[in-house]
Amino acid sequence: MTGTPETEAEILGAIGFLNEVMARYPQAISFAPGAPLLDGITRERVIAAVDEVAGHSGAPGWNALFQYGPSQGIVNADLARALSAAGACTVGATDITITVGAQEGFILVLRALELHRRGTLGIVAPAFAGIRGAATFMGAQTVDVLEGPEGVTAADLEAACGRADALGEPLRALYVAPDFANPSGTVIPRQARLELLHAARGRQVLLIEDTTYGFTDPDVPPSLKALDEHGVVIQVGTFSKVCFPGARVGYVVADQPWNGSTLATWLATLKNTTTVNTPALSQAMVAGLVLSDPAALAERQRMLRNSYRDKRNLLLTALDDEFPDASELGLSWNRPTGGFFVVMQTRRDLDHAALQHCAACHRVLWTPMRDFYAGRAGDTMLRLSCSHVPNDQIREGVRRLGAFLRETSQDAAAQ
């Protein structure tokens, strides 16, 4: 539902709060951010990457990269080729709009669908705070669609349609992250993907597919977009995790027909009023690093995948070792095989105040799961991200977390 002023401020401030809290406790070991590894990203490599893009024959050169550029983007053809080579989906350059991160993609898609005027947006719950933020920012009516152990199903979509109808505005789109969702780590199985597509088509609901963590496992099922034969899926992707988030390059694949062209071209028109164009320099960095050579992208994904797998395994082993008494403490956690995140169920109320107390007294940070739900379903859960913690600090971070979670409420009050 569209939030009250307080909840709106909470939703819109969630990501900012987490960034600030990290800066305020620099000594803390941080399992909070989904910040990626930057291995192989250096000043020299980035300059060489841009040189490669600007310098090849027929290229416009560095000067053009310093200028304004086309709203739809300048690396669309390279990206279309890369998506097709990776089996992600087969689309053309005009079916893609390059955005300032996936985050701008969400805003543009919600605006294009006019969700601020009519209809309801379903959001898988729990979900990445950015989509909830985008919906709040746009004034869209939303319903949470609680996922099961294998993500959202066709039955969940049907139920959400019923709830949206009861609110008087039919479900028009559903946000879903089928590959190692942030934060839950769920993967939607192939058959369930096909059923979801079928149900969405039948109900005339568009699926907004977020592919951010798909690269962390080569064996995930084909993307919803790859399986989509009827224009049901709008795919939103990002280079924040496979390249670097400072580039702020993401994209939307939207090949649906739209007023004689594609939805992607309408998104580009809307983009004139948000960020005008994604900086050409940023697009060139990403293109030079991973897009112009499909082998380079595959190699970088493989290297990152292995590093994240090692980190996840270190984290899971440290949790097993730290909490042999997990069930007595009321603790449990999932064991995802991809992505960045592990979710822990506890007995404590875990809000921003608890996080600050934990940072100040135990020097370890995590993310309260309540930030990923519209309601209070996540109040006693926390998310641990393994992506940003050096391997040799993971065990110590978990030891500190143990001290926090073993604290009695009296201890906490006395600190």
Query: What is the number of residues in the chain?
Result: 415
Task: Specify which residues 368 forms β-bridges with.
Answer: 382
Q: How far is the CB of 251 from ligand PLP (least distance, A)?
A: 9
Are the CB atoms for 21 and 359 separated by under 8 Å? Answer: yes
Q: Characterize the bridge pairing of strands 364-365 and 367-368.
A: unpaired
Q: How far is the CB of 91 from ligand PLP (least distance, A)?
A: 19
Q: How far is the CB of 132 from ligand PLP (least distance, A)?
A: 11
Q: How far is CA 326 from the centre of its chain?
A: 29
Hey, what amino acid is at 395?
Answer: R
Q: How far is the CB of 102 from ligand PLP (least distance, A)?
A: 4
Q: How far is the CB of 94 from ligand PLP (least distance, A)?
A: 22
Are the CB atoms for 134 and 110 separated by under 8 Å? Answer: yes
Q: Which is nearer to ligand PLP, 46 or 102 (CB)?
A: 102
Count CA atoms closer than 13 A to 173's CA, side-chain side.
Answer: 25
Q: Which is nearer to ligand PLP, 210 or 322 (CB)?
A: 210
Q: Which is nearer to ligand PLP, 378 or 402 (CB)?
A: 378
Q: Which residues contact 56 (CB under 8 A, 6 or more apart)?
A: none
Helix (H) or strand (E) holding 389: none
- Closest to 82 in 3D by CA, of 241, 280, 288: 288
Q: Which is nearer to ligand PLP, 203 or 311 (CB)?
A: 311
- Closest to 251 in 3D by CA, of 106, 84, 75, 97: 97
Q: How far is the CB of 182 from ligand PLP (least distance, A)?
A: 4
Q: Which is nearer to ligand PLP, 102 or 297 (CB)?
A: 102
Residue located via tokens 């993967």: 187
Q: How far is the CB of 151 from ligand PLP (least distance, A)?
A: 13
Q: Which is nearer to ligand PLP, 54 or 290 (CB)?
A: 290
Helix (H) or strand (E) holding 367: strand 367-368
Q: Which is nearer to ligand PLP, 203 or 388 (CB)?
A: 388
Residue located via tokens 């940070």: 365
Report the alpha-carbon distance of residue 52 to residue 116 in Å, rounded.
42
Q: How many helices (H) and strands (E) does the chain have?
A: 16, 15
Q: Which pair of structure tokens corresponds to residue 338?
A: 């991809």
Q: Which is nearer to ligand PLP, 65 or 252 (CB)?
A: 252
SS3 24: helix
Per-position DSSP letters for 216-275, written without gaps between them: G-TTSPPPHHHH-SSS-EEEEEESTTTS-GGG--EEEE--SEETTEEHHHHHHHHHTTTT
SS3 21: helix
Q: Which is nearer to ligand PLP, 101 or 185 (CB)?
A: 101
CA dihedral 20, 22, 23, 25 (to 10 degrees): 120
Q: How far is the CB of 398 from ligand PLP (least distance, A)?
A: 22
Binding interface with ligand PLP (CB under 6 A)? 34, 101-103, 128, 130, 177, 182, 210, 212, 238, 240, 245, 250
Q: Which is nearer to ligand PLP, 83 or 405 (CB)?
A: 83
Q: How far is the CB of 108 from ligand PLP (least distance, A)?
A: 12
Residue, CB closest to ligand PLP: 101
Report the alpha-carbon distance of residue 33 to residue 293 in Å, rounded.
30
Q: How far is the CB of 385 from ligand PLP (least distance, A)?
A: 9
